[in-house]
Structure 1
């Protein structure tokens, strides 16, 4: 196997379905994208792990949105890691890459190397937002932080908010190919039961943490049996199979689900991408008066702004900002 064939699947999301089980899914691999996301900040290892996991989940969940739509994950907690935010921008045209960006806000002094990454979030919420563009009302769904990982939070979200049984297997970490430099690699598999015409759960509460719904509360009969079988097969996946690069996603699907009739579709390439710009900074400051802008002005007589996602730095003339702006100066 050549190095080129090994990395052919890097930074891609491969959609598939299991014909026998009425289950759809995605296999995702991220390497260069994750390196670029994490290179923007000097994160402690615990924060790096959370951002890597969130980016993987975003890649797999986001693959279903339509062209030019935006899907965002937001995890807020009262622990040392206050916020993890990710964005997935749908391709602008068929065949073009989707874009991903992510960052975390945290209290470095409270990070405990002896604690698991997920424990640094504390109590809070997990949210998914979908922006369909101008003139459309954004969709937002929120569930409490639950389980022992961000993947578990996402599974709870889909069961509770969408009543869609969903399962994630995710692995990530630093690795080095022979003769290469060390970099981040991540991989994952997402399973999701096909939605029914009118999903509805009888009774109050569920069997999940804090009474939240779980997959077993939604399915019954053949659907429950098929879902359990697919999950047992996914339980056999190994970390190195998820991360690659020597195991191709198509080979992985055959290894895991060959009896379920896996059918694959066109892979979606993804890349790191940010939408920040000077124009967007000016737009965000357009609601402020000249007096407000003055409070943001530095001793050097400029207003500065930094993008948390990509690290871009902007320096602007305060007289050209806000709704009382005098116009841009040359």
Structure 2
């Protein structure tokens, strides 16, 4: 049950680094919005990313937070891309209920060749997007994989829900750089909205079947007729502009009121999001101990130490060789 059922126009305070769940009963949709400010800056600050890479990673963080905050248990939601574009790998790790970290790998030469004209979709290119839900050692991981075909994360998210969840879903993502007056350092903002059609009558939410592999040539599969409520919801979400999703002067509550006020949108309590890396000396030592003794010996540097740098936060952990090389492998 909702903990707050006030109309969205009654809650006008703007909150950064938060996810706001909402519901529109008249259209049978539920969803979430996300606004990221300081938390996104904190994630990006660990690496000297070019602006184009920051945009890609910002979109990935916003999408991961939208999806990860739906977990009803303690666990992780991990988004990872592997593609042929200038940004060939993105990893975002969300630990419920509120912690996120991320990093990207990119080709400087390919990025420079493409210049400023490369969109986030072009930067990713073609490959695949994997979304993993990890509930811990006692439960098997669930992973869904969809193709990235040069259309970006929004399109891939839509394909994921069609293919894996079979829930009619619409996603919008936006990232922007905010310049400070007087020439100070810029900051980054990201926003997103996810809306899902969840009617009580399951038949109303039918999605098109996958193409039949043995159909005669020229045969076209009949798609189910789209529900009027979902068609209206998609039309309203489609009016969103990027600037509305990242404007610090436009709260999520006002945004939802603009979109759905004629249908009576309700909002729930906002959920905070923080940038936080889960690495630690103990965790790194545990990972090193999992290698065979010969592999550990090969890791020793000329100064007789082993150094490990966290890809996410850039923190480096140093160990004396005897701490690691002679340690028994973990079971």
Tell me which residue corresponds to 1:170.
173
Farther-moved stretch of structure 1 (13-22 vs 191-200): 191-200
Q: Kindly state the Cα deviation for residue 76 of structure 1 after the two structures are TM-superposed.
A: 0.9
Q: Kindly state the Cα deviation for residue 79 of structure 1 after the two structures are TM-superposed.
A: 2.5
The alignment partner of 1:140 has SS state of: strand
Which residue of the other structure, out of 31, 37, 57, is the alignment partner of 2:37? 31
Q: Report matched runs for 1:161-240 at 5 Å.
A: 161-176=164-179, 182-194=186-198, 203-205=209-211, 220=225, 224-240=227-243
Partner Cα distance (1:6, 1:44) in 2: 34
Q: Kindly state the Cα deviation for residue 6 of structure 1 after the two structures are TM-superposed.
A: 9.1
Partner Cα distance (2:209, 2:76) in 1: 34
- Is the contact made by 2:162 and 2:207 (CA closer than 8 Å) also made in structure 1? no
Structure 2 stretches lacking a partner, 5+ long: 1-10, 213-221
- Select the structure with the greater relative contact order (CA < 8 A; seq sep ≥ 6): 2
Partner Cα distance (1:170, 1:154) in 2: 11
Tell me which residue corresponds to 1:325.
327
Partner Cα distance (1:244, 1:58) in 2: 20
- Is the contact made by 2:134 and 2:141 (CA closer than 8 Å) also made in structure 1? yes
Query: Normalised by the size of structure 1, how large is the TM-score?
Result: 0.85
Alpha-carbon spacing, 1:311–1:31, altered in 2? closer, same or farther (3 Å) = same
- Is the contact made by 2:308 and 2:318 (CA closer than 8 Å) also made in structure 1? yes
- Is the contact made by 1:319 and 1:326 (CA closer than 8 Å) also made in structure 2? no
Query: Normalised by the size of structure 2, how large is the TM-score?
Result: 0.84
The alignment partner of 2:158 has SS state of: helix
Q: Deviation string for 1:160-184 (max 9, x for gaps)?
A: 1111111112221111466885311
Tell me which residue corresponds to 1:159.
162
Q: Report matched runs for 1:63-142 at 5 Å.
A: 63-91=69-97, 98-111=98-111, 112-113=114-115, 114-142=117-145
Tell me which residue corresponds to 1:278.
281
Q: Give the paired residue count.
A: 304
Structure 1 stretches lacking a partner, 5+ long: 92-97, 207-215
Q: Kindly state the Cα deviation for residue 259 of structure 1 after the two structures are TM-superposed.
A: 2.1
The alignment partner of 1:145 has SS state of: strand
- Is the contact made by 1:70 and 1:132 (CA closer than 8 Å) also made in structure 2? yes
- Is the contact made by 1:147 and 1:153 (CA closer than 8 Å) also made in structure 2? no
